[in-house]
Structure 1
Amino acid sequence: MADEKLAKLREAVAGLTQISDNEKSGFLSLVARYLSGEEEHVEWGKIHTPTDEVVVPYNALEAPPPDMEETKKLLDKLAVLKLNGGLGTTMGCTGPKSVIEVRNGFTFLDLIVIQIESLNKKYGSNVPLLLMNSFNTHEDTLKIVEKYGSSSIEIHTFNQSQYPRVVADEFLPWPTKGKTCKDGWYPPGHGDIFPSLINSGKLDLLLSQGKEYVFIANSDNLGAIVDMKILNHLIHKQNEYCMEVTPKTLADVKGGTLISYEERVQLLEIAQVPDAHVDEFKSIEKFKIFNTNNLWVNLKAIKRLVEADALKMEIIPNPKEVDGVKVLQLETAAGAAIRFFHHAIGINVPRSRFLPVKATSDLQLVQSDLYTLVDGFIIRNPARTNPSNPSIELGPEFKKVGSFLGRFKSIPSIVELDSLKVSGDVWFGSSITLKGKVNITAKPGVKLEIPDGAVLENKDINGPEDL
């Protein structure tokens, strides 16, 4: 039955003119693995906590030599790659998420460019920036990067693969069933970065420039900056792959974690965990770290493994319903490739290297006095003594960036805030200070305005009378 399905699908895919032969074969290979049911199941009893040799504590890394020339030599072996395929739709924006304004009028992409420029300027190095787009973000990104035309850094853009969504009940590509617009297609997850680097010609270009490592990170992670201690360690220890992990808090219980499994380091995602062990996986006692998706990978090793077709990452089936049609998309994650590389390690980094902006509540954190901006780097305010950030929950009225910004005359001071919960039609004046635990709830149909200069400490506010 699986063979019949695959043969039918193969025939249909052959007629798709919108994608390359490489994309067709990559897609069919993924589907063939999925249909064969070859998914490797993790045997719970074989899971071990990685030792410090496998997941190296950040403070055990040697500082690189202070010599400017030596630092330049290290940096000249590096390229930075940002995953730029995501749209800002969850935050109410059109176009690539990386062009949302984060702070002082700068977008994610502006900050990334400024960071690399200041690094290159300081050391006289040539670290290029690569942006891996999806077909959803490609055209917009090409227009956006024009504004960096006078920048001193090399910026390369390339597209990740475009695969057809499969109509679930017939198991045929949706574009062959008449869905020829963008909705008929999907980008197959960031695990596709490795073949896409080669198919685009960018990997060979980097190797020809003497680059050895690529630092990969999500474009919305403001903490993912070039770290000389990590780069120095990888080059000297010849680790082909490094995943930055950081200690779990209760907010990160679903994040993938690193385990030692059958003599190698491996990523364990919640989807692979047997139901009976999900609570154990989510606890922060046994699994203390999670994957930040900051990855450092050796370029020659990528070439070797892709050309040998050896990167068989776990398949993530993602069933969706689009326009009333049930479709299936198969994806992979870049972190899952760790087990195929030689001398792969994790590095347990400070939480400051994981500062993603997934929602407007995260935007409130990075726009507040909790952080300042120096040379494109978001620096945490030392006046905040608590190592973890305040937890912020904003109601649906704040979900879209436009409405979020409209509801604050200025972002409140939150250096001494523990938690904030806001629900209902709430509006904030300017120069407000929030401390301790603050809950603000506007009753249905009531507009609740927090006045300019208000200081709210450990308060529950349900109406103007509580102010």
Structure 2
Amino acid sequence: MATATLNLTDAEKITKLRSAVSGLNQISENEKSGFVSLVSRYLSGEAQTIEWSKIKTPTDEVVVPYDSLAPLPNDLAETKKLLDKLVVLKLNGGLGTTMGCTGPKSVIEVRNGLTFLDLIVIQIESLNSKYGCNVPLLLMNSFNTHDDTLKIVDKYTNSNIQIHTFNQSQYPRLVVEDFMPLPCKGQSGKDGWYPPGHGDVFSSLMNSGKLDALLAQGKEYIFAANSDNLGAIVDLKILNHLIQNKNEYCMEVTPKTLADVKGGTLISYEGKVQLLEIAQVADENINEFKSIEKFKIFNTNNLWLNMKAVKRLVEAHALKMEIIPNPKEVDGVKVLQLETAAGAAIRFFDNAIGINVPRSRFLPVKATSDLLLVQSDLYTLADGFVVRNKARTSPANPSIELGPEFKKVGSFLSRFKSIPSIIELDNLKVSGDVWFGAGVTLKGNVSISAKPGVKLEIPDKAVLENKV
């Protein structure tokens, strides 16, 4: 860790960096100064250290139980008033590379031939039709997803929903050896750049002009979520609560299971609510951090933001979120990406809270094993909403582990004649060259393994229950 004051070499590094960055004409002045400021903060080692003994469990005032939210007024006009204050923002900067896709992740087909983006648009359309309101959709793209998204958004021009897009910042990757921007070393392609994490949403909203334009339309709150979280739908009870209680920021958290032990959690620290991420935890406290006894909740990254508060804090340069260093290698050169997370901003907002929401509001699709869940009979589709099948008695979803043969969406889909029935499944583990017939049913604990070099075909209509 560097010392708290910039020693000469760090100050010199920043001077050199500033002059190198000024010559990068691919990015705006705002991006240049944002980047230089992030690097100087990183070099000055201003990382906030957490004293473990000062961590307190948040009370129900700070992390509000969902069941305690007031019921909604049963009045269409009142509901329309609430919704007219709302903007939905989806973080759409990610590519589907981990799932073997080339474009934005949000255009992967989820169900019935509909993509993440289709479902999001249908959901907001049905709200706008039902209440006669005007909830716009904002997509925060990265330079990786911008062009593709613009082409895709074209197909929604006749829908009753305004779609705005803006780009998050584009920062140059830093060469570790001398802290110079990679594009200055002749790496002029996309590999020289990176989007600096979703903590960048606040300044990018402001720099794009979208924040001021929406404030001028009378909008007050943004509901922001990852575009791949199918559970992140507009919740009027939450919106109503925030408006009534003048909360500037709300993070939806949900109870941890053993699958979520690495997720960030909310703590009370020196009188403020803040996010504690695994990266901030000293080695000797890691096991305690992962325990679901002490830290019972984790961040879903569904965030509600008061727009005037965002404007105030961005203008004051007050959002100094913890910096996440992300080391990478490009063509054999060691580089560093400095990123921030939007959840870490919670401690800068007044009257910020968490709401402990049902698990159904967290249904991310990060891998093909998640895709299997949402394409199966465990869920149905209504008005763009993915709804869990009531026939499933266990509150937890089945645990699914698919081998590398299933990693890419294309090969995943080709290996199933139809998605199996998994309503009564607890655990599934598949490894090797396995192919599923049509109408297969899986129940209890099922483990299917093909020996190396052997193709294993599960016949049509097979029922596998507690089978290895």
TM-based fold match above 0.5: yes
Question: What amino acid is aligned across from residue 206 of structure 1 in structure 2?
Answer: L
Q: Find the partner of 1:142 among 114, 130, 150.
A: 150
Per-residue CA distance 1:189-225 (angstroms, 9 max, x = gap): 0000000000000000110110000000000000000
Question: What amino acid is aligned across from residue 319 of structure 2 in structure 1?
Answer: L
Name the CA distance, whole Å, in 1 between partners of 2:97 and 2:44: 35
Name the CA distance, whole Å, in 2 between partners of 1:443 and 1:382: 37
Match of residue 186 from structure 1: 194
Match of residue 69 from structure 2: 61
TM-score (norm 1): 0.98
Q: Find the partner of 2:216 among 186, 199, 208.
A: 208
Per-residue CA distance 1:276-329 (angstroms, 9 max, x = gap): 000000010100000000000000000000000000000001111111110011
Q: Find the partner of 1:158 among 166, 175, 188.
A: 166
Match of residue 45 from structure 1: 53
Q: Find the partner of 1:230 among 216, 230, 238.
A: 238
Match of residue 290 from structure 1: 298
Name the CA distance, whole Å, in 1 between partners of 2:183 and 2:453: 46
Structure 2: segments with no counterpart, 5+ residues: 1-8
Name the CA distance, whole Å, in 2 between partners of 1:107 and 1:264: 39
TM-score (norm 2): 0.98
Name the CA distance, whole Å, in 2 between partners of 1:361 and 1:17: 42
- SS of alignment partner, residue 130 of structure 2: helix
- SS of alignment partner, residue 132 of structure 1: strand
Name the CA distance, whole Å, in 1 between partners of 2:25 and 2:407: 39
Per-residue CA distance 1:340-389 (angstroms, 9 max, x = gap): 00000000000000000000000000000000000000000000010010
Match of residue 455 from structure 2: 447
- The answer on 1:279 being equivalent to 2:281 is no
- SS of alignment partner, residue 402 of structure 1: helix
- SS of alignment partner, residue 49 of structure 2: coil
- SS of alignment partner, residue 459 of structure 1: coil
Q: Find the partner of 1:100 among 108, 133, 145.
A: 108
Per-residue CA distance 1:210-261 (angstroms, 9 max, x = gap): 0000000000000000001000000000000000000000000000000000
Match of residue 16 from structure 1: 24
- SS of alignment partner, residue 366 of structure 2: coil
Match of residue 34 from structure 1: 42
Q: Find the partner of 1:175 among 179, 183, 190.
A: 183
Q: Find the partner of 1:299 among 307, 310, 327.
A: 307
Question: What amino acid is aligned across from residue 112 of structure 1 in structure 2?
Answer: I
- The answer on 1:412 being equivalent to 2:420 is yes
Name the CA distance, whole Å, in 1 between partners of 2:155 and 2:263: 36
Question: What amino acid is aligned across from residue 411 of structure 2 in structure 1?
Answer: S
Name the CA distance, whole Å, in 2 between partners of 1:66 and 1:450: 51
Match of residue 6 from structure 2: none
Match of residue 327 from structure 1: 335
Post-superposition shift, 1:166?
Answer: 0.6
Superposed, which structure 2 residues align to 1:415-434 within 5 Å? 415-434=423-442
Off by >2 Å, runs of 4+ in structure 1: none
Q: Find the partner of 2:372 among 364, 372, 391.
A: 364
Match of residue 411 from structure 2: 403
Match of residue 463 from structure 1: none
Name the CA distance, whole Å, in 2 between partners of 1:37 and 1:149: 48
> Please, what is the CA RMSD of the aligned residues?
0.4
Post-superposition shift, 1:61?
Answer: 0.3
Name the CA distance, whole Å, in 2 between partners of 1:19 and 1:145: 24
Q: Find the partner of 2:271 among 256, 263, 271.
A: 263
- The answer on 1:125 being equivalent to 2:133 is yes
Superposed, which structure 2 residues align to 1:332-347 within 5 Å? 332-347=340-355
Q: Find the partner of 1:437 among 432, 436, 445.
A: 445
Name the CA distance, whole Å, in 2 between partners of 1:445 and 1:39: 51
Question: What amino acid is aligned across from residue 381 of structure 1 in structure 2?
Answer: N
Match of residue 90 from structure 1: 98
Post-superposition shift, 1:64?
Answer: 1.4
Post-superposition shift, 1:63?
Answer: 1.3
Match of residue 245 from structure 1: 253
Q: Find the partner of 1:2 among 10, 13, 20.
A: 10
Question: What amino acid is aligned across from residue 51 of structure 2 in structure 1?
Answer: E
Name the CA distance, whole Å, in 2 between partners of 1:274 and 1:444: 42
- SS of alignment partner, residue 373 of structure 1: strand
Name the CA distance, whole Å, in 1 between partners of 2:215 and 2:71: 26
Post-superposition shift, 1:456?
Answer: 0.4
Question: What amino acid is aligned across from residue 341 of structure 1 in structure 2?
Answer: F
Name the CA distance, whole Å, in 2 between partners of 1:81 and 1:391: 30
- SS of alignment partner, residue 50 of structure 2: coil
Structure 1: segments with no counterpart, 5+ residues: 461-467
- The answer on 1:348 being equivalent to 2:367 is no
Per-residue CA distance 1:38-73 (angstroms, 9 max, x = gap): 111000000000000000000000111010000000
Name the CA distance, whole Å, in 2 between partners of 1:291 and 1:150: 36
- SS of alignment partner, residue 401 of structure 2: strand
Name the CA distance, whole Å, in 2 between partners of 1:419 and 1:245: 25
- SS of alignment partner, residue 5 of structure 1: helix
Name the CA distance, whole Å, in 2 between partners of 1:64 and 1:180: 54
Post-superposition shift, 1:402?
Answer: 0.3
Question: What amino acid is aligned across from residue 299 of structure 2 in structure 1?
Answer: N
Name the CA distance, whole Å, in 2 between partners of 1:249 and 1:323: 39
Name the CA distance, whole Å, in 2 between partners of 1:211 and 1:288: 34
- SS of alignment partner, residue 258 of structure 1: strand
Per-residue CA distance 1:1-59 (angstroms, 9 max, x = gap): 11111111111011111100000000011001000011110000000000000000000
Post-superposition shift, 1:154?
Answer: 0.2
- SS of alignment partner, residue 456 of structure 1: strand
- SS of alignment partner, residue 72 of structure 1: helix
Per-residue CA distance 1:163-209 (angstroms, 9 max, x = gap): 00011101100111100100000000000000000000000011011
Name the CA distance, whole Å, in 1 between partners of 2:74 and 2:94: 38
- SS of alignment partner, residue 466 of structure 2: strand
- SS of alignment partner, residue 454 of structure 2: coil
Question: What amino acid is aligned across from residue 123 of structure 1 in structure 2?
Answer: Y
Question: What amino acid is aligned across from residue 48 of structure 2 in structure 1?
Answer: E
